[in-house]
A and B are shown apart, each in its own frame.
Chain A
Amino acid sequence: MVAKEVALVMPKMSMTMTEGVFVAWHKAAGDRIRQGDVVCEVTTDKVDMEVEATVDGVLARLVARPEDVIAVGEPIAYVESEADDLLEGLFDAPEASGPVPEEPRAPEPQPVRAAEKRGVAAVPAARRLAAERGVDLAALTPTGPWGTIRVADLPAGRLAKPAPARGRAAVARRMTPSALVPQFVLYRDVDLAGAERARNGASWTAVFVHVLAAALRAHPAFNASWSGDTLVRHEGVAVALAVDTPRGLLAPVLTDPDLCGLDELGSRVADVVSRAKAGKLGLAELSAPATTTVSNLGGLGVGAFQALLTPPQASALAMGAVERKVVPVPDGVGVRLRCSLGLTVDHRVADGADGARLLSTVQELLDGGLV
């Protein structure tokens, strides 16, 4: 069996993924690998993912380098493999008896983007410092001989700045379009006396995921997105839950969280939060389309805040601290368990009064609608 080079390509890990950023090699050139071995790590716009070998063989050539942006389907590396290709020859023309006309060779897949990056001439120290500081060499103007980037061509700053956490870039990419959405925020303190009796140990986060989903189902106009110049309504409700993790902000998606009991939802929320912090979320959980987001900073002592919309979602709920507050009650003042909510709304989808009605539904659900 003759060894041949098989390309290991950037996988398409979600419907919306068109390119990935190469993160790190887990194997070195020359390493023997088996199908299923983790070869490298790439990051999509949502999460870091491990890329597995698709064939047995020897990792012959590494094409991608850290920070390379590689289109889906473009090679990351080439594997020298003797593995049988069951499709090999299947689509070839039937063997002719006479002399076979020479077929033009299929062009080798070209690692276009990676090659462009590799074309940047820079002294080794400049490469090292650029990597440390998270500077894109290709964006610099070379002033050295032969058009080579010198150390002096790097942005000033002797102190090596730590490279931004990988999660930051993902957050930046996802949240920048938010600035194009006309959005307003409604604040309302909700009373949690009823919910406190009913929640049966479930976390407040789970409670609000549940009631927000149920409220959206009751106000289907909110469970929509503005697309182009029309309103697109969504069938199901899916709540993205913002989770603070060591690798940055992640937002695993809980689909139809109001259709199961609060006990079960409590377990689901606890599970995704712990797996998010451990970096064990599946891609599907992160890339499922969400129709709204819940963000809870109450545990960090925040009283109330404004969450930004994550386009194309039309709403986002910001939870402040759940705490006992002195509030007016009939005939005087009293102490009640309360929480300040901030509801952010895409003004193209709904108006302020619609948002106010949604919050009223939330309060009603808290008062007695919990399952």
Chain B
Amino acid sequence: MTTTESRTLTYAEAVREALSQAMEADERVFLLGEDVGTYGGAFGVTGDLVHRFGEERVRDTPISELGIVGAAVGAALAGMRPIVEIQFSDFTAQAMDQIVNQAAKIHFMLGGAATVPMVLRAPGGSGTGAAAQHSQSLEAWFAHVPGLKVVMPATAADAKGLLLAAIDDPNPVIVLEHKLLYKQSGVVPQSPARVRLGETAVRRDGTDLTIVATGVMVSRALEAAEQLAATGIEAAVLDPRTLRPLDSKTIVDSVTATGRALLVQEAPKTGGFMAEVSAAIVESPAFGHLTAPVTRLCGLDVPIPYAPQLEKAAVPQTEDIVKAATGLVNQW
């Protein structure tokens, strides 16, 4: 098998390939979560891995998020490399004590004598009609906690590359996948190539404004940038990929060049991660180059509604990005 080839895989297949390559490479890597075994995962991500690696390494667990994460923290402390799947990221609320008070802090509280090399994968975001308790974008919760790393892959290639880097990392990493992206395809290298944590990706170059987007908003921002280009507005599209640690330099450099920043997130605006990106821009030398206020385009401050029309209206869509970007360029 050559290792340099690339093929088209779905985002879900890319995650599965990362899991299987990691399990092949390192016996300490194992999966645990609700229905990750025989059922193949709530969104089919783990698929047939239980048949390939056995029930010892692809472990179905009881419905107890706190117990699942607690077991993973313990296993990680004992030298294993657990990968937890939480069916919906909303359910991490059940496991918050283990994530925030144990996994994130043990390394520091023990003076560096122990590490918790675990990965927690959880799908977030709306768009599937799963309503308020199954559709949230909770990245800001985790990005706020010292000791946690947070990644949000927006492409199939990043889904694989960032997950492999997360598995390598000696500290707990939260991987927030997006439900709507699971079926989207992209070119993915066959080799177990890592995407380094803490590097913002420039998805598109542009001179008139910089759009920073995360998760499913990256593809919407790219669609918007195409439409904007037709009207003569060249938008750069940046995907931080890793929220913590955040590569703000790439963002700052881009905003310094364009003078305008449109920050797009699916999560509600108040206390959201883009507030952090905004602050990073205005606290940087890019400030003096701003020709317009740093502008956020975010989900509404409401629980995600069940009705499809309302669900769509609650989070930014491609046309919303086009409109906001056009206003930002033309008004300023």
Contact = CB atoms under 8 A, between A and B. Distances in A.
A150 B332 contact: yes
B33 interface: no
A125 B331 contact: no
B290 A144 contact: no
B331 A123 contact: no
A229 to B, nearest CB: 54
Interface in B267-304: 287-293
B259 interface: yes
A121 to B, nearest CB: 11
B5 to A, nearest CB: 46
A124 interface: yes
Interface in A123-167: 123-128, 144-145, 150-151
A192 to B, nearest CB: 57
Interface residues of A, number: 10
Interface string B303-332: 000000000000000000000000000011
Nearest to A151: B291
A126 B291 contact: yes
Contact of B288 (A125, A144, A150): A125
Size range of the chain B interface in the assembly: 10 to 19
A153 to B, nearest CB: 11
The B interface is mostly helix, strand or loop, or mixed, namely: loop
6 contacts: A123-B293, A123-B332, A124-B287, A124-B289, A145-B332, A150-B291
Contacts of A124: 287-290
A123 B292 CA distance: 6
Nearest to B293: A123
Contacts of B288: 124-125, 127-128
Contacts, number: 27
A144 B289 contact: no
Given A124-B287, A145-B332, A151-B332, 8 more contacts: A123-B290, A123-B291, A123-B293, A125-B259, A125-B288, A127-B288, A128-B288, A145-B331
A124 B291 CA distance: 7
Nearest to A144: B332
B196 to A, nearest CB: 32
Interface in B247-272: 259
A145 B291 CA distance: 12
Contacts of A126: 291
A150 B259 CA distance: 12
A123 B286 CA distance: 12
Contacts of B331: 144-145
Interface in B211-263: 259
A9 B289 CA distance: 32
Contact of A128 (B289, B292, B293, B332): B289
Nearest to B287: A124
Contacts of A125: 259, 288-291
Contacts of A123: 290-293, 332
B279 to A, nearest CB: 15
A273 to B, nearest CB: 40
Contacts of B292: 123
Nearest to B286: A124
Nearest to A126: B291
B193 to A, nearest CB: 39
A145 B329 CA distance: 12
A173 to B, nearest CB: 30
Contacts of A150: 291, 332
A313 to B, nearest CB: 45
Q: Which of A125, A127, A144, A150 has most B Cβ within 10 Å?
A: A125
B80 to A, nearest CB: 50
A166 B259 CA distance: 30
B263 to A, nearest CB: 17
User: What are the nearest 5 A-B pairs in CB distance?
Assistant: A125-B291, A124-B290, A128-B288, A151-B291, A124-B288
Contacts of B332: 123, 144-145, 150-151
Interface in A300-349: none
A217 B291 CA distance: 62
A334 B259 CA distance: 72
A74 B292 CA distance: 33
A126 B288 CA distance: 8
A150 B293 CA distance: 11
Contacts of B290: 123-125
B241 to A, nearest CB: 28
A156 to B, nearest CB: 16
B53 to A, nearest CB: 55
B208 to A, nearest CB: 13
Q: Which of B287, B289, B291 has most A Cβ within 10 Å?
A: B291
A132 B315 CA distance: 42
A124 B286 CA distance: 9
A128 B288 CA distance: 6
Contacts of A151: 259, 291, 332
Contacts of A127: 288
Q: Which of A124, A127, A151 has most B Cβ within 10 Å?
A: A124
B139 to A, nearest CB: 29
Interface string B7-49: 0000000000000000000000000000000000000000000
A143 to B, nearest CB: 9
A144 B288 CA distance: 17
B98 to A, nearest CB: 42
Contacts of B293: 123
A46 B331 CA distance: 43
A126 B293 CA distance: 12
